Structure formats: C-alpha cells, structure tokens
Amino acid sequence: MTQITQQEIEETFESFETFTEADIQKFMRTFQKKQEPLLVYIAAVAEREDLNEEEYDLLITMVLLTWHLMRLKFPKMKRLTMKQLERLDDLLYEGLASNPGSMLQEVQNYAQPVLHEAVLTNVMEAEEGVREDRKGIIYFTLKNVMDGMIHASSAS
C-alpha cells in the first residue's frame, strides 16, 4: 500500500490553517457528498459519547485530515457505508472487552503507520478543552475511520 508521509501530513495541516470560511464550507460540502455516512457516524459518536465542542473539533479535524490524505493517495477510494462503520465500531468494542492486548499488536503493524502516529499524537497531546477520559474514545473512533478508509482504498 502506498504510504502517506509526514511531509504530506504537515502540508495538509498547513493548508487547513489557510482556509477561509468559504474554503471550509466548500471542503465540508465535498466531504459530505463523498462520505456522508462517515459524517453521520462521527456525529453519532459525538452525541453518544457526549463530546464537547473542542473534542468534536479534534475528532472532525482528524477525520478530515485522514480523508483528505487518503483520497489524494487513493483517488478511487470507495464511499464508506454505515453498515461498515457500525461493524468496525462493534469489532472495536468487542476487541477492547475481550483482549485489549490484541489492539496494541494490531497498531504496531498498521497499514499507514505515519498517519496513525500523527493522529494518535494529535489526540493524546490535545489539551485545551479535551478531557483526558475522552481521548481514548476519540482515538479509537479515529482508528475505526482510518481502518474503514484503508479498506475502502484497497477495495478500489
């Protein structure tokens, strides 16, 4: 699988910082059009887990970063479905409940290690307004998103 680089991640963050309100709206419309089930999933997780505004902002920013980078590398990436996202959610919670150590092993052999590390670092180092007890929830939600996109990219 073609790898996303640290430079590509940094360049994407820099481009996000230059977005005007109109750029953000256009970007979000495109995201919604291409990955509406993912947007619904993120909103559902935010509501289910009672994320505050800063936590939701962190979650959506990391989702958008992941989606943007994955669609650049894999332009034929398929649209995720709610069924896929719900299944990933179920598998995640089953795995955490039955064998949390297996989750660590899976992370060590991740298909997009640089992207994974960037997401993990951004979540774990988030401070202002992001509650410590929500960081794990945000990270595992993002891992589901990355897993789904990786699968959607390899299936194309």
Instruction: Give one DSSP letter per residue of 35-94, joined into a string.
Output: HHHHHHHHHHHHHHTT--HHHHHHHHHHHHHHHHHHHHH-TTPPPP-HHHHHHHHHHHHH
- Domain with 72, as residue range(s), is 6-154
- Token pair recorded at residue 83: 């069924």
Q: Is residue 72 situated within a structural domain?
A: yes
CA-to-CA distance for 102 and 29, rounded, in angstroms? 37
Q: Is residue 1 situated within a structural domain?
A: no
In this prediction, residues 84-99 reach a mean pLDDT of 80
- Token pair recorded at residue 29: 């419309």
**77 has pLDDT over 80:** yes
- Worst-scoring range by mean pLDDT, 69-78, 104-113, 121-130? 104-113
More confident residue, 92 or 12: 12
CA 134 distance to own-chain centroid: 15
Q: What total number of domains does the chain contain? A: 1
Confidence of residue 108 (pLDDT cuts 50, 70, 90): low
Sequence-distant (≥ 6) Cβ neighbours of residue 26 within 8 angstroms: none
